[in-house]
A and B are shown apart, each in its own frame.
Chain A
Amino acid sequence: DQQVKQNSPSLSVQEGRISILNCDYTNSMFDYFLWYKKYPAEGPTFLISISSIKDKNEDGRFTVFLNKSAKHLSLHIVPSQPGDSAVYFCAASAEYGNKLVFGAGTILRVKS
């Protein structure tokens, strides 16, 4: 039973355009959500997070949107750059950031 789902295994975007990565969750107890980026042979790197009391959080080119009623969050990257090409994981927690539950990841390819 996957509690966090990333339904798009891959996404291809042109450099300079917007990348939108999506994530759905089923557990209504989740109250903290994160996005991680992962390059091959490296560990996941924290990108941005949002708590359930907010519906948007912005950090430079990265914005995370949370829709609690739909149990959906998305990561927007604007403008996309070739260096953004990586696997992006959505994660959620119901315990103050402990016990993260991860989605399966989305491979983003930004074409120059």
Chain B
Amino acid sequence: NAGVTQTPKFQVLKTGQSMTLQCAQDMNHNSMYWYRQDPGMGLRLIYYSASEGTTDKGEVPNGYNVSRLNKREFSLRLESAAPSQTSVYFCASSENPRDNQPQHFGDGTRLSIL
């Protein structure tokens, strides 16, 4: 009963390094999302994919790229990591983007950039 699985759980990078965060869901959901959470703030949407083959920017997309590899997998890439990208990253999925459905979240990737 995995739901949404994120890898890795923790990562430390140096400024300028690149990194791909992986996310997979086994609920046959159409939509997938990437958020970041910073201390004292709510989650903020980075990118989302309403369906396989489509991606769209969220509130804070700068410095990130995404790939919807297939219906199950949605990856987030940092091409040149910056200290401002130190955060906890959450992936989520939902069944249908055109019908109010709750999003289900993974347990997060804690990323530190030195």
Contacts and interface: CB of A to CB of B under 8 A. Distances in A.
A41 B48 contact: no
Contact of B103 (A41, A46, A105): A46
A104 interface: yes
Given A43-B90, A43-B107, A100 B43 contact: yes
Interface stretch (B64-72, B75-83, B92-100): B92-100
Main SS class of interface, A = strand
B42 A102 contact: yes
Contact of B101 (A41, A42, A91, A97): A97
B104 A46 contact: yes
Interface in A63-112: 89, 91, 93, 95-105
Contact of B31 (A6, A98, A105): A98
Size class of the A contact interface (CB-based, 8 Å): 20 to 34
Contacts of B42: 4, 6, 89, 91, 101-105
A97 B43 contact: no
A21 interface: no
Given A44-B105, A104-B40, A49 B100 contact: yes
A44 B97 contact: no
B37 to A, nearest CB: 8
Interface in B48-67: 48, 50, 58-59
Interface of A: 4, 6, 32, 34, 36, 41-46, 49, 51, 89, 91, 93, 95-105
Given A43-B106, A43-B108, A95-B97, 6 more contacts: A32-B100, A44-B90, A97-B103, A98-B48, A102-B42, A104-B41
18 contacts: A34-B102, A42-B108, A43-B90, A46-B103, A49-B102, A96-B97, A96-B100, A97-B100, A97-B101, A97-B102, A98-B50, A99-B58, A100-B33, A100-B45, A101-B42, A101-B59, A104-B41, A105-B42
